[in-house]
Structure 1
Amino acid sequence: MSTSRVEAAILTAKRERKGALIGYLPVAFPDLDTSVDAAIAMARSGADVIEFGVPYSDPVMDGLVIQEATQTALKAGFKLSQLFEAITRVTAEVDAPVLVMTYWNPVVQYGVERFAKDLKAAGGAGLITPDITPDAAAEWIEVSERVGLDRVFLAAPTSTDERLRMISEQSTGFVYTVSTMGITGERSELDAAARVLTGRLRDAGDKLACVGIGISNAEQVASTLEYADGAIVGTVFVRALRDGGVDGLAAEVREIAQGTTS
């Protein structure tokens, strides 16, 4: 299988710096146009991969800052068509690949094949699916292979070695390596389990592992990239957009991106 755009972006970041910065934002927060401008600014300020989150009514993995942002989008009448519009507009302006972080129910309700084809047509690179595991994702695996989209599954510190092998085999782009058990949000110190889990994924055959949940500053990015291929940052970027607008977000991304070179 050829190298995907997400893999290529991470490998380029590893070659040119210490590794990749992956930035998360909810689509349509605080409104559609601003979220598009914010994603473009994020890419231009140092993010190698953009992660657009789909607002969802029951975000079991998300911390308070992201929950409040997605609720704002939902209350404003968010529709999945806005996701595809946003990706089309972002990918027309920047080269950074755009992944979609989504709970599985919206994809099923929309139709798995229809969702995949519309995502591909919009220029999207694939899906991060926090609440579906490879053994329950046969339809998505088949459709993503056929349409040409990455599928990023999550690995947790509690995953067995057998499950890690399955996740490694079925993920493309990278494996989303959960740094600590619990919801997303900033932590003053990253759980050492992230380093151990990344090592276990290497042993399971995984090529690229990016660590998320709890990374909130340049020092933590630099520390993460000592053992992982990418660092995923969400909550602090959403807060920066909420409090400082697109300019505030861009400044925060530039600051945190320094961790990819330090």
Structure 2
Amino acid sequence: MTTREAFAQARAQGRAALIPYVMAGYPSRGADLELVKQVLPYADLLEVGLPYSDPLGDGPVIQRASEQALQQGIRVADVAAFVQEIRALTDKPLFLMTYLNPVLAVGPERFFSMFKEAGVNGLILPDLPPDEDPGLVALAQGVGLETTFLLAPTSTEARIRTVAPYCTGFVYAVSVTGVTGARDRLPEGLPELVGRIRRVTQAPVAIGFGISNRTTAQQAAQAADGAVVASALIRAHEEGRGLAEVLREVRAGLEGAAGPVH
């Protein structure tokens, strides 16, 4: 299934797409795949995090998960193997969330080829302004990977016009000017941000940072094509709760609240 097909399928069902997040190697090797099995029935797309020592865009919950995975020796090759295991379970789109440093450390061409072969559809690169290295973006797209970049409520019209064309997977609209983390409500102004993005691209728009419950999911669905759920899932696992409980509540918020067809 392609990325566009996944968003379109959700839209045809009258809802925004649900994009759960899992961290490779968390809570441990093998147990990470068990978490994938919990979230896949609810997922339209799946975001897979590559553990990194300095995840500047992530709040404390995802930082803890990343540290735990790294302490167990998870490396880039292990993440690629994890993706292969997920791909054997599903044909749903898989997006790898990675900071730039691991890409450069492995070597961009080798890194991109490794994950394309493993079964990744696309990359989310939160700390790469794409216009600062368009050659790197072209290299990823050249091996068949879609690329996704972040835009925020503070993004100017000029910035949106610059970044959006590089988003061949979907546009990741950050709900807040801060780090990841579950929130009770999302800030006002998200429909306005998404509207500004949609004026310059046909790519689907997904909202992330703060989706944790029915209320925040409904806010996201009223504005955008999809919602990313990350910290809320890791926190649920830390607290000994099943991930399905969180996903059922979020899915309920996404149903019947989707904005205009795009």
Alignment TM class, shorter chain as reference: over 0.9
Code of the residue aligned with 2:249 in structure 1: it is E
Residue 30 (structure 1) aligns with? 27
1:147 to 143, 148, 153: 143
Residue 250 (structure 1) aligns with? 244
The 2-side partners of 1:91 and 1:17 are apart by 27
> Is contact 1:91-1:97 (8 Å) kept?
no
The 2-side partners of 1:17 and 1:244 are apart by 32
Deviations 1:33-85 (A, max 9, x none): 111221232111x1111111111111111111111111111111111111111
Does residue 210 of structure 2 align to residue 214 of structure 1? yes
Code of the residue aligned with 2:15 in structure 1: it is K
Aligned pairs, number: 256
The 2-side partners of 1:260 and 1:192 are apart by 18
Does residue 201 of structure 2 align to residue 205 of structure 1? yes
Query: Structure 1: where are the runs of 5+ without partners?
Result: none
Code of the residue aligned with 2:151 in structure 1: it is A
2:228 to 232, 252, 261: 232
TM-score (norm 1): 0.93
Name the SS for the 2:30 alignment partner.
Answer: helix
Write out aligned runs for 1:37-52 (5 A).
37-44=34-41, 46-52=42-48
Deviation of the 1:206 alpha carbon: 4.1
Residue 260 (structure 1) aligns with? 254
> Is contact 2:184-2:216 (8 Å) kept?
no
Residue 72 (structure 1) aligns with? 68
Deviations 1:147-180 (A, max 9, x none): 1111001011121212201221111111000111
Using the TM superposition, name which of 146-155 and 198-207 deviates more. Answer: 198-207
Name the SS for the 1:151 alignment partner.
Answer: strand
The 1-side partners of 2:169 and 2:4 are apart by 5
The 1-side partners of 2:164 and 2:244 are apart by 33
Does residue 113 of structure 2 align to residue 124 of structure 1? no
Deviation of the 1:216 alpha carbon: 0.6
Code of the residue aligned with 1:75 in structure 2: it is Q
Code of the residue aligned with 1:40 in structure 2: it is K
The 1-side partners of 2:14 and 2:86 are apart by 24
> Is contact 1:168-1:206 (8 Å) kept?
no
Deviations 1:10-29 (A, max 9, x none): 12111113110111121100
Code of the residue aligned with 1:254 in structure 2: it is R
Runs of 4+ in 1 over 4 A off after TM superposition: none
Deviations 1:68-105 (A, max 9, x none): 11111111111111111111011111222111111100
Change (3 A) 1:206 1:160: farther
The CA RMSD measured in Å over matched residues stands at 1.5
Code of the residue aligned with 1:19 in structure 2: it is A
The 1-side partners of 2:218 and 2:153 are apart by 21
Change (3 A) 1:205 1:126: closer
What's the % identity of the aligned pairs? Answer: 37
Name the SS for the 1:210 alignment partner.
Answer: strand
Write out aligned runs for 1:160-175 (5 A).
160-175=156-171
Name the SS for the 1:225 alignment partner.
Answer: helix
Code of the residue aligned with 1:203 in structure 2: it is R
> Is contact 1:180-1:194 (8 Å) kept?
no
Code of the residue aligned with 2:155 in structure 1: it is S
Change (3 A) 1:6 1:40: farther
> Is contact 1:29-1:70 (8 Å) kept?
yes
Deviations 1:197-248 (A, max 9, x none): 1111012234311001111112321221112000111111111223337xx1
Name the SS for the 1:55 alignment partner.
Answer: coil
> Is contact 2:169-2:203 (8 Å) kept?
no
